Amino acid sequence: MRKLELHWRILIGMFLGVVFAYLMVQLEWGPKFVSDWIKPFGNIFINSLKLIAVPLILGSLIKGVSDLKDISKLSKMGGRTIGIYVLTTVIAVSIGLGVVNLIKPGSSISQETRNELVENYKGDADSKIAEAAKQRDAGPLRALEDLVPDNIFQAASDNGNMLQVIFFAILFGVGLILIPEEQASPVKKFFDGFNEVILKLIDLIMLAAPFGVFALLAALVVESPSLDLFKALGWYALSVVIGLTLMICVYLFIVWIVTKKTPAFFLKGISPAQLLAFSTSSSAATLPVTMERVEEHLGVEEEVTSFVLPIGATINMDGTSLYQAVAAVFIAQAFGMDLSLSAQLGIIVTATLASIGSAAVPGAGMVMLVIVLAQAGIPEAGLALIFAVDRPLDMCRTVVNVTGDATVSMVVAKSVGKLGEPKVKDWDDHYKGKKVI
């Protein structure tokens, strides 16, 4: 019998996870059972994805850069990638501002609910504010300084240092281009093989994806706050979701216009990565799958994916920037502040920079939101207002972050003549003729 396609299997896993959690919360011992016996499997799944992020970046980026054979190609691609990333982020913030000004979710929130939310989430908000203070105190060139590791093993031992690993891999790849072919060839062959092994590991880990997302969603539902608070923040959440949906439409349009690929083709190719982004709330954990899907199912050549996607996962967060814009204006509205046009234009700049600085892990966007609020003169304590619904919105914005990276990699690939036909049309092709386990 033909197996169901991967995205269906993941969706079924997610659905069953939610249903299972609802049944378990009815039982007295249910929530503890889920935390003790189900949640760890979700964590194992996320860890196994994170485990291969650093080796994947090293292997594929070194191979990708050295395959370019010419440094001018690298700078051409680099310039385009960063340029398009910034452009899509500015579009995202503008959409967010448009939606939140139209819906005005903050005006409908009552004084009573506001006080209740501030009271309930003050502690959580304070810890995010303290985290943000550390980042804000850094000097203007700090980000640049942080890019260059003083020890590659140390950098590679922390997933939070992804940009440093990227820097090293690009440098190493450039070195490989510059040395004579005779010496470069065995090193390249090693990284070629290394890279293939890592890609195979992603296939193997993805076999467990439906079970992994089942565990992740079950744990999330059991631990989520009461529905009443969700309702109070309904208009705000809706504004974020509408903005994010519009952004996805923008991507589909861009892909269609630039590459002539239909929305159905694009969504079918990228959907497993989107579902994983939703379940894990982390673009970094999703990166291995994003790379595999874009390369094998959307037809982008490895030289482009290996360069554009790891950089995108760390600096291109359109969903996060859109959310930061909506959240900032929502908090201002809830506190009865009227934001001038120039304050809103300032948000475009700060939200763009803040999303670049956000780490690709759950909840990171909220820490950087503190900086956006401070710049716009909005009370930081307002963070407490949006805490209750942050996790579900984090799940949604991470989907957009990942989709944005995939879109830009297709556009860059097209512009440098590296967009071909997908290597794999069907998930089962991976295993044809090969016994995997």
Q: Which segment (155-163, 193-201, 362-370, 377-385) binds ligand ASP by CB under 6 A?
A: 362-370
Under the binding rule (CB under 6 A), the answer on residue 292 touching ligand ASP is: no
Q: Which residue is nearest to ligand ASP (CB)?
A: 365
CB of 268 to ligand ASP, least distance (A): 22
CB of 388 to ligand ASP, least distance (A): 16
Q: Which segment (235-243, 247-255, 328-336, 396-404) binds ligand ASP by CB under 6 A?
A: 396-404
Residue from the set 397, 410, 418, 422 that interacts with ligand ASP by CB under 6 A: 397
263 touches 197 (CB < 8 A):
no
Compute the distance between CA of residue 11 and CA of residue 85 in angstroms, rounded to an integer.
29
Residue owning tokens 């239909």: 262
Alpha carbon distances (Å) from 415 to 64, 238, 411: 17, 36, 6
- The residues in 398-427 that bind ligand ASP, with binding defined as CB under 6 A, are 398, 401
Under the binding rule (CB under 6 A), the answer on residue 114 touching ligand ASP is: no
Under the binding rule (CB under 6 A), the answer on residue 317 touching ligand ASP is: yes
Under the binding rule (CB under 6 A), the answer on residue 363 touching ligand ASP is: yes
Token couple for 144: 């640049």
Rounded (10°) angle between helices 341-357 and 364-376:
150
Q: Which segment (21-29, 138-146, 260-268, 395-403) binds ligand ASP by CB under 6 A?
A: 395-403
128/188 with CB nearer ligand ASP: 128
162/242 with CB nearer ligand ASP: 162
222 touches 34 (CB < 8 A):
yes
42/362 with CB nearer ligand ASP: 362
Compute the distance between CA of residue 270 and CA of residue 249 in angstroms, rounded to an integer.
14
371 CB burial (10 A radius; 0-12, 13-18, 19+): buried
9 touches 209 (CB < 8 A):
yes
Residue from the set 64, 365, 404, 422 that interacts with ligand ASP by CB under 6 A: 365
Residue from the set 314, 316, 320, 350 that interacts with ligand ASP by CB under 6 A: 320
Long-range contacts formed by 428-432: CB under 8 A, 24+ apart: 428/2, 428/3, 430/203, 431/203
Total residues in contact with ligand ASP, by rule CB under 6 A = 16
Compute the distance between CA of residue 183 and CA of residue 196 in angstroms, rounded to an integer.
21
C-alpha angle with apex 150: 148 to 154, nearest 5 degrees?
105
HSE on the CB side for 426, CA within 13 Å? 7
Q: Which segment (118-126, 187-195, 393-401, 420-428) binds ligand ASP by CB under 6 A?
A: 393-401
Under the binding rule (CB under 6 A), the answer on residue 287 touching ligand ASP is: no
Q: Which segment (123-131, 183-191, 279-287, 404-412) binds ligand ASP by CB under 6 A?
A: 279-287
Under the binding rule (CB under 6 A), the answer on residue 361 touching ligand ASP is: yes
374 touches 367 (CB < 8 A):
no
C-alpha angle with apex 150: 148 to 156, nearest 5 degrees?
80
Residue from the set 89, 281, 290, 403 that interacts with ligand ASP by CB under 6 A: 281
Q: Which residues contact 392 (CB under 8 A, 6 or more apart)?
A: 224, 237
215/367 with CB nearer ligand ASP: 367
Under the binding rule (CB under 6 A), the answer on residue 24 touching ligand ASP is: no
Residues at the contact surface with ligand ASP, assessed by CB under 6 A = 281-283, 317, 320, 358, 360-365, 394, 397-398, 401
